[in-house]
Each structure stands twice: as C-alpha cells, then as structure tokens.
Structure 1
Amino acid sequence: MTPPPPTGRVGLVVNPTAGRGRGTRVHSRVAGALAAAGLEPVDLSGADVERAVANSRAGLSRGLDALVVVGGDGMVHLGVGALAGTAVPLGVVAVGSGNDVARDLGLPVGDVEASVAVVCDALTRTAGAGVRRLDAVAVSRPGGPTAHWYMASLSCGLDAAVNERANAMSWPSGGGRYVRALLAELGSFRPYGYKVTLDGDVWQGEGTLVVVANTPSFGGGMRIAPSAEPDDGLLEVVLARGLSRAGLLRLFPRIYPGTHVRHPAVEVRRARSVVIEPLEGAGATPPVAFADGERLEALPLQCDVHPGAVGVLVRREAGGTDRT
C-alpha cells in the first residue's frame, strides 16, 4: 500500500555560508522538495546565528511538526539548542564543511534529495525512517542555569586553541588551515592546567586534551571518542596528560582512526555530569571551549547529559525507531 502523503509545517533554517555558500544554493531545492511532498516549509533562516535561533523559537511557539537545518555541525548545534526538551524532531540536510553528526548517525551527506527523503519518510512513518531519541548535553557555569546545548562534543584543549586560531585565518582553505593553525599553536605550546570532576571523581593536573563527547567524531572526521553512543545516557570524556610537542605531533594523526585512546597518556572515562575548571599553579590557562565547532566561553564549565532530549529524523536501518 502506498503511504499517505505527509502533512505538516516544517521549519527550515539554512546557513548561507555552509559548504562555501552551498547552503544558500540548496535552499530552494530543499523547500521545493518539502512542498512537493505535501509539507509546508516555513523559512526561519536569519542573517546570523542569533536571529536564526530567535526565528526557530518563534516558529516553535506557532507550531511545527519538525525543524530542518541545512548546513554542517554548526547548524545541528543550532537545532539542538532550539529543540532540546521538546517533542519536535530535528531533520538534517548535511551540506556543510563539517558533517560529523550526520555521518555518525548514518544520515546522507552532501545529498540534498536523499536528506529530504529521510525527513519526508520519517514524517509519514514509512518503513525506511523514524525518529531516534538522542541525548543532548547542557552547558552551564557550575551550578548555574543552562547557557548552551550541544550534540557532539565540547573541547577545551589544544584542539580548541587550534580551532580558535584556524577560524581567524583566511588561508588556506579546508583542512590545510587546520594543519597550519596546529603548527602555529605548537610553536608556543605548553600543557594546560585542569581540574575535571566526573560524577564526583576528580582528575587534575597538566593536560593536552579534554573532550566531553556524546558522539564519536569531531573536527571533520576525527574519531575522538570512538566508542561514544549518543543514546546511552553517558558522556565519554577523553583526557590526555601533558605531552611534548614531538609527542603531540605523533598523537594527533592517531585521532583520525581513533587509535589515540590506546596511547599511555590518554584516558577515557564515562560520566553523566562533568565540571571542568582551570587548575591554578599548574600549566597554562586552558583555551576557550568549543562545542560542535562553535565557540562558547572560557572555563569553568559544567556539562550534563540529558537522555533522549532531542528527536532526530533518521533512517530506521541507521538505528532509529519510528516513534512519531
């Protein structure tokens, strides 16, 4: 039997800078495909992140059956921030320069038509797709109200410093900018001082990496927490003790396949709540934290996992179940 056509209002948020402007170019294709499937696309995009978030929340207050974001991990970050704790699911059209969340969830990457088909199939409850309830992570000042949400990972080690430097560079494009920024950071690097409290247990001292992960990948394919599961109610915390510059150069390539977790300087712990603070008198001051590739703020910060806080439209064979 042919399933009935989907009906409903679908918020659409497009990042105009995603994939070197590809987000803008695919806007009409996504909106047209949603309309052709019988859905009502509602454009909630904004000139900047703040406006897009405000538009998304306004759209939710008027009623949406789903929110679809077009871009990379930064747009997923935006969608999670708008939807955490609601029953409205998130659809992802992954056409950004970094699409780690989409890859980790088995969603199409760089294929607009396939991505829209997942959204439409999920909203019609066909056998191919559904809603997967995933954990989201609330970020706050320790003991304070939630200031941010994220889906993939928060980092506040050398990788965050490299991210900050790379974002300020205009050359070269793509991964070459990250490599250039890494080499520049290594020139003046010394380990940072951390106090990390994981469900009451304390890890402290000089460190190189502190990553609080909900999904396996970050940074365009680096398997920072290869055993992380986004729906197990736990965070994977990757901690690396202080290393020399030569040691770091040997460690970083191992992050891509995820073999760094077997390095003797690296520990992986699991927790539901993580507080990260600078440790005075030990090492350099840690850099500003990044979550899902988006700049947040300086330490101290607290990360708390919220099981099943966000529903994502996925293909059933990627691990989703139809709960719509």
Structure 2
Amino acid sequence: MELVIIINEMAGHGLAKKRGNRLISELTVPFKAEFTTHIGHATAIAQSYSSKNSATLIIVVGGDGTIHEVIKGVIGSEKMIVGVINGGSGNDFGRAFPIFKNAQEIERYVLKNKPFSRKQDIGIVQSTNGAEWFMNNSGFGIDAAVTHSVNQSTVKAQLNRLGLGKLAYAFILLKELKKFKPFDVTVISNGQKYTYRNSYLVVASNQPYFGGGMKISPTSLMDDGLIELTIVHNISKLRLLAVFGTVFFGKHTKFKVVKQHVAEQFQVIVHAAVIGHADGEFIGNAPVDGAIYFKVSKEAWQVATN
C-alpha cells in the first residue's frame, strides 16, 4: 500500500505544519509528502493519486477544509483510503470519524496484511449555484453567516494563540445575530410539505458536529444512508442564545423551536437570500424561492480504521 501525506501548512494557524513536520520526521516506512498551496489543491493532489488506481492511504494533516478537499478527490474510488491527523482549529471531522494520533499508528496500519477501512456516506447540496459535497454538514442561515465571518476574522487567530479558539464562534455569533434577519423556509420530504416561519438556520448533517464541537445533529451517523435536517425557527434572538448554549451537549433538540427530519433527500426552499456553507466553506446565497436539494451518496469513500 502506497502512503501519501497531504499537509496544509496554513491550517490551524501553524498547527498542521508543526504536526506534519513531526510526522515526516518520525515515519520509517516509505511515503510521499505533498504540500497544498492554494484552495482546491488538495482535491487535485488526491485525484492525481486516485487516477493511478493503486491501493493508497492518504493521510491528511490539516483542518476540515483540507479534509473536505481530499475526500472530494477520492469519491467513488475503491483503492483510496483516507486517514487524518487533526491539524485545524475546529476539527469536527475528528470528533465523528476515526483518526490517527501519531506516526506509529500509521505505520502499523500500512504494514498490516489487510488494513481495515469502512465505507462512508457523503452529502450533496445542489441549487442554481451548483453542487457541492459535504462530509460533515451544509446549511443556510446564521450558522453560515457566523462561519463565513469567523473564517474572515482575525479574532479566531488571536483566540487560537491563547488556546481559546472555540470562543471565536460564540463571539462572532453575538455580532452576526444583531444584524441577522430570520427567514421562512419550506421543506419537502417523503411526500410531505412543511413550512417554518422566522427561521434562523436550516442545516443538513452527515455527522453530529459543526462549528468546532457543537452537536447540532446528535443522532447523525456517517454510514446509515440518511441525512438529518435541523431547523431552528419561531424564536427570539435572546432565547436563541439560551438554546445555543445547549448545542454543545446535543440538548437543543428538546426545545419545540428545534425541528429535525430524517431522510435520504430533502427539497428545501428558502424564501430569502440567506448565506450558505458546505463543511464551513462559503457556497453563495440561497436562491430566493428556488429549490435547494440535500441528498446522500451512500458508501462514497473509505476511511481508515485502526
């Protein structure tokens, strides 16, 4: 089995670079190291190895954005297996999917006669803006507004240096919430139509976590052929903050203002130009009154399991 290391040295404000260098210095088995230099580069690297159609373990050292890109590059391949060493600031992937902790674990895996992997689902969000994959979640609303602002802000970097990176989301939520306008959303699933007024977010999940550890969809599984849709609606901004505090523990689903649906696919109509994301990356605004489709692609890629 060929071993390839893909490192995004910018991820985690230097954390991925530090862990990548350590990994390279400690590995004693043959490997190739690749370093990303721009957005989309990790996808291109992964695709180049996938096209060889030979058994390959790709270890990603980076954050969720880099992992997202690598998985995009190996979708549908029976030969490519993805492994991860956390190197980002949010690391939601590592909260739900198996990861490696060090070079020794990777070496033991590569040297096995039959290294074990597990096929995983991946989500798809599609609209007039195009289509995008998501391994974690995708949505429209205050979560996307906050995530986009966090990615553009210097506050996140400053808090990361103090070991308080998780506070960035909460800090910017307060800022974004002041100017955010709730929206109406229509959900069509399994032949049923639902309308939710004054909504703050609608998010489809393939695994439980988003936003650096918030358990937005507690029952989501990555290999069950289903996605979960969460809507928060008809709630004041003050009460939303109270509910927000329970999301880290997955307790928000007990509130009547939080609604969840489970299906293989959803059609969602957002009645406002609300910002959207896929795995924390900006995907444009929702087409006003236009259809957005959330779907699941079953067993689309493979993750390494120890």
For the aligned pair, the TM-score class normalised by the smaller chain equals 0.7 to 0.9
Q: CA deviation at 1:31?
A: 3.1
Change (3 A) 1:49 1:267: same
Q: Aligned-pair distance for 1:96?
A: 1.3
Provide the residue aligned with 2:70 in structure 1. 79
Q: Determine whether 1:293 maps to 2:286.
A: no
Identify the residue that residue 18 of structure 1 maps to in structure 2: 11
DSSP 3-state at the match of 2:201: strand
Q: CA deviation at 1:21?
A: 0.8
Conservation of the 8 A alpha-carbon contact between 1:139 and 1:304 = yes
Q: CA deviation at 1:57?
A: 1.3
Partner of 1:5: none
Please identify which structure carries the higher strand content.
2
- 1:120 maps to 107
In the alignment, what sits opposite 1:320? none
Shift in Å at residue 97 of structure 1?
0.7
Following superposition of structure 1 onto structure 2, how do residues 145-184 of structure 1 map, counting pairs within 5 Å?
147-171=131-155, 172-173=158-159, 174-184=165-175
Deviation of 1:78 after TM superposition, in Å, equals 1.2
CA displacement at 1:192 relative to structure 2: 1.5
Q: Distance in 2 between matches of 1:188 and 1:71?
A: 32
SS in 2 for 1:20: helix
Q: Secondary structure at the match of 1:296?
A: strand
On the 8 A contact 1:123/1:130 being kept in 2, the answer is: no
Alpha-carbon distance in 2 for matches of 1:75, 1:194:
31
1:276 aligns with 2:260: no
1:17-166 matched pairs, under 5 angstroms: 17-34=10-27, 36-37=28-29, 39-41=30-32, 43-64=33-54, 65-87=56-78, 88-108=80-100, 111=101, 113=102, 116-125=103-112, 130-141=116-127, 147-166=131-150
User: Counterparts of 1:180-259 in structure 2 under 5 Å?
Assistant: 180-206=171-197, 207-259=199-251
| Distance in 1 separating the partners of 2:201 and 2:139 | 8
Helix, strand or coil at the partner of 2:284: coil
The answer (yes or no) to whether the contact 1:100–1:221 under 8 Å persists in 2 is yes
For structure 2, the 5+ residue unaligned runs are: 160-164
Deviation at 1:291, TM superposition (A): 1.8
Deviation, 1:149, is: 1.6
Identity of aligned residues (%): 28
Q: Distance in 2 between matches of 1:176 and 1:187?
A: 18
Structure 1 CA distance, aligned partners of 2:273 and 2:285?
10
Amino acid at match of 2:127: R
List alignment gaps of at least 5 residues for structure 1. Answer: 1-7, 316-324
- Once the two structures are TM-superposed, the CA of residue 91 in structure 1 deviates from its matched residue by 0.9
User: More displaced, 118-127 or 191-200?
Assistant: 118-127
With normalisation by structure 2, the TM-score equals 0.87
- Check conservation: 1:209, 1:241, Cα contact below 8 A: yes
User: How far is 1:32 from its partner?
Assistant: 4.1
Question: Aligned partners of 1:62 and 1:45: how far apart in 2?
Answer: 19
CA 1:215–1:246: 2 relative to 1, 3 Å:
same
Question: In 2, distance between residues paired with 1:286 and 1:68?
Answer: 35
Q: Give 1:24's aligned amino acid.
A: K
RMSD: 2.3
Q: Could you say what secondary structure the match of 1:243 adopts?
A: coil
1:157 CA drift (Å): 1.9
Q: Distance in 2 between the 1:83 and 1:181 partners? A: 34
TM-score (norm 1): 0.82
